[in-house]
Amino acid sequence: MRTTIYLLTIALVAISCHQGKAQKTEPAKLEFQTYSDWEAKYDGSSLDEECWELTIPDYFKENSAVTVQLRAYEEENDQPNSTIALIDKAGNYLVTLFEPTQFHQFALEYATLSVGDVDGNGLKDIKIDFPYMGNGLMACAIRTIYIFQAGAKTFNKVSFDSFVCRDHVAETDVDGDGKWEIIVRTLEYIDENNHYWVDNIYKYTPEGLICVSKENGYPKALNVSERKPTDAEIVARHKGEWTVEQPKGYLFLKSSK
Q: What angle do CA 143, 166, 127 make, to 5 degrees?
A: 30
Do 97 and 104 form a contact (C-beta atoms < 8 A)?
no
Segment of 2-16, 71-85, 155-169, 203-217 carrying the highest mean pLDDT: 203-217
* pLDDT, mean of residues 92-104: 93
Task: Give strand pairing partners of 112.
Answer: 129
* pLDDT, mean of residues 51-71: 93
Total H helices, total E strands in the chain:
3, 16
d(CA 38, CA 54): 5
* pLDDT, mean of residues 75-82: 79
* pLDDT, mean of residues 40-50: 68
Instruction: Please count the other Cβ atoms lying within 10 Å of the Cβ belonging to residue 124.
Output: 20
Looking at 3-153, which runs of residues are DSSP E strands? 33-35, 39-41, 49-56, 66-73, 82-88, 93-99, 112-116, 125-131, 141-151
Question: Higher model confidence: residue 75 or residue 213?
Answer: 213
Do 127 and 113 form a contact (C-beta atoms < 8 A)?
yes
Q: What is the rounded radius of gyration, in angstroms, for the C-alpha atoms of the chain?
A: 22
- Residue 97: its pLDDT value, please? 95
- Comparing C-alpha atoms, which of 126, 99, 90, 115 is closest to residue 34? 115
Residue ranges of alpha helices (H) inside the chain are: 2-25, 105-108, 232-242
d(CA 122, CA 180): 12
- Residue 189: its pLDDT value, please? 92
* pLDDT, mean of residues 54-65: 91
**Eight-class DSSP state of 136:** G
- Residue 167: its pLDDT value, please? 73
Domain boundaries, the chain: 29-254
Q: How far is CA 24 from CA 13, 117, 168, 171, 197, in A?
A: 16, 21, 22, 18, 28
Q: pLDDT per residue over 178-230, tens digit each? A: 899 999 999 999 888 789 999 999 999 999 999 999 999 999 999 998 878 88
Query: If you average pLDDT over every residue of the chain, what do you get?
Result: 85
Task: Give strand pairing partners of 220.
Answer: 199
Q: How far is CA 214 from CA 195, 199, 226, in A?
A: 22, 12, 26
- Residue 50: its pLDDT value, please? 87
